Amino acid sequence: MADAGSMRPSLTHCWLGDAFLRDTVAAYFSRVPGTEKAALRGFRELEDWGWRCATEVHELGREAGLPDSEPKLVPSAARDERESAWRKVNPVDDGGARMELRTSDAWKALHRIAAEEGLVASAFERDRHAGGLSRAFQFAKLFMFNASSGLYSCPLAMTDGAARLCEVMGAGDPVLASAHGHLLSRNPDEFWSSGQWMTEINGGSDVGAGTETFSEPASGLCAADGWADSLLFGYKWFSSATDARMAFTLARERNEGGELIQGTRGLSLFYVEVRDAAGRVRDTIRLMRLKGKLGTRQLPTAELELVGVPAKRVGERGRGIAHIAEMMNITRLHNSITACSYMRRVAVLTLDYALRRSVFGRRLVDQPLARSNLAHFECHARASLALTMEAAFLLGRKEAHSASAEELGLLRVLTPLCKLYTAKQVVWCASEGLEFFGGQGYIEATGIPEILRDSQVLPIWEGTTNVLCLDVLRAMRVDKGRGALVLLSRAAEAAVRAAGVGREGLQGPAAAVIEAAEETKGRISGLLGSLRGDDEDAGLSWLKPIAFSLAKIFACGLLIDRARLPSNPNHLDTAVAQAYCSGVSNAPGSVELGHVDHSVAKRIVEGLVEADSVPRAKF
């Protein structure tokens, strides 16, 4: 609720109010023959879900974000303290008093909605959406949900990654099969969320050097519930979704001489159930403190001490890093779709505000500088969604075993590119969007500061920009740059098709994309060549601008391909393609677009105003 007397922004129906989302999803269904009935069924579900997101989910998300709703530790009031309480140990309370981790009713309600709507399960219901479309369908639902979800999107990301890991690694394993069933359940009482316990005191990305948690063999009664083969000892400095029922974590193993094996080859992947068979939090998991964070305050995050936690090794011994790659690729794309969701929210709210706010005798929407802001917000929202939905579609094809070798190579390089690029986009949009509202943007009651704070985690979680650039490089080294070249070739081919249709306004953008693709191919060749020589550091200094160029060029290809289709003859699609493609010339190697021509920005905003005719929900 906004302050009394202020102008309350309005939230559009998340499906009917987003023509770009509808057309994007429809385009993916049209790429798979024989899916007409599935598309109609799916679109009805997405329409119902879009309204629920704009009303019930949004209200719960706002409630979960209130200071009184933040997770907290309180002395246990349970009749049987072992029933729901954690053993809490910290420098002040070294007696190990039992404390209850309390989350809000809104947070619990969002958990139930996530189960009912199959926000994880729908990705694995491949019979409903053939040809890999289950991921495109799921990501459309997540796109509408995440910005309203009060950060419940975060545990869902880890739950989805864990479910995929159980699917891939759990063949013939009844423990992982049982966990998989809980992770995919549509019954709220049976649905589990999953956490990730990776980060330790020594820091994040270099887990090979930073992981000190170790495992010991379990035996006798210590083999909890008959499934554990190990006991874990260590300190997890940042455990996301502490209220989850299970987690995957890394721990170090010993060699035959009893010494801990150093480096990545000493790390194995382990499955942990936070509660025992009776549903009680395990005494061997000690909650040291909840983290105080810049944002994502709705989400319980804690420091945990592991003192003999029952666990089960998953996969090969010493292959923990390799095994979590499957999970991280999914969580990174969840990170991307969350960024997309926030950018769409900024675009929707700023347009609504600009239509109703007048200064100096004119509405904001009629003023050139404000129009430029609005055009940038819309371009970023569309480009980010185009990138992420393409990656989600390719992921679905991979999981359905229908992806070609070329598509697999493209997905490998596109996944880190999506994550790094959309995360930087959303931080820019959130900051500029808050400023657009002036003083009202600075007021907590509007919810806009929450978007700014929560978006800041997206360039950090699951790999910072630098780490992801190195992952892009790793992919290029493995396949000698073929995946990146496929990406550039597809963008250039889309530009050639656009230039060939003769539509006014597309020739210039097409030429810019073709030129940028050729230039970036040369830079990639130079980079890979420098890594084989004596000047590796100089080559690596170009890695970040190359990564940003790859993402921007591919987004341009997707946008221009949409604009040239006969089904999209409107000026808005063409204007967005013009504006975004100008960015490969004006601001290569960054997320910024540089200057957008005034006439182009005006056409974008006019197109948005013409399309703005759907029901809204006040907040």
For 268-277, the pLDDT digits (tens) are 999 999 998 8
Other residues' Cβ atoms within 10 Å of the Cβ of residue 51: 17
Q: Say whether pLDDT at 37 is over 70.
A: yes
pLDDT, tens digit, 9 for 90 and up, residues 115-130:
999 999 999 999 888 7
pLDDT at position 221 over 70:
no
Whether 290 shows a pLDDT value over 60: the answer reads yes
Which string of DSSP letters, residue by residue, matches 549-583? HHHHHHHHHHHHHHHTSTT--SHHHHHHHHHHHHH
Cite the DSSP H helix spans in 89-240. Answer: 105-116, 133-146, 153-169, 174-183, 207-210
Q: What are residue 581's phi and psi, to 5 degrees?
A: -70, -25
Q: Quick one: pLDDT at residue 82?
A: 46
**% of the chain exceeding 90 in pLDDT:** 79
pTM of the model: 0.95
Residue 70 has pLDDT above 90, yes or no: yes
pLDDT tens digit sequence for 526-563: 999 988 877 788 889 999 999 999 999 999 999 999 99
- Tell me how crowded residue 589 is: count the other CB atoms within 10 A of its CB: 17
Query: Can you say whether the dihedral through the CA atoms of 414, 416, 421, 422 is positive or negative?
Result: positive
Is 80 exceeded by the pLDDT of residue 566? no
Q: How confident is the model at residue 90 (pLDDT cuts 50, 70, 90)?
A: very low
Q: What is the DSSP string of 455-521?
A: HTTTTTTT--HHHHHHHHHHHHHHHTTHHHHHHHHHHHHHHHHHHHTT-TT-HHHHHHHHHHHHHHH
The strand pairing partners of 74, in sequence order, are 100
Please give the CATH number for the structural domain made up of 71-102+193-318: 2.40.110.20
Q: Which amino acid is at 300?
A: P
Computed from CA positions of residues 415, 416, 418, 419, in that sequence, does the dihedral angle turn out positive or negative?
positive
pLDDT of 83: 47
Q: Does residue 342 surpass a pLDDT of 80?
A: yes
Class of domain 10-66+104-162+322-455: mainly alpha
Region of 481 on the Ramachandran plot (φ > 0 left; ψ -120 to 50 alpha; else beta): left
Identify the pLDDT of residue 362. Answer: 96
What pLDDT score does 222 carry? Answer: 56
- DSSP one-letter code for 547: H
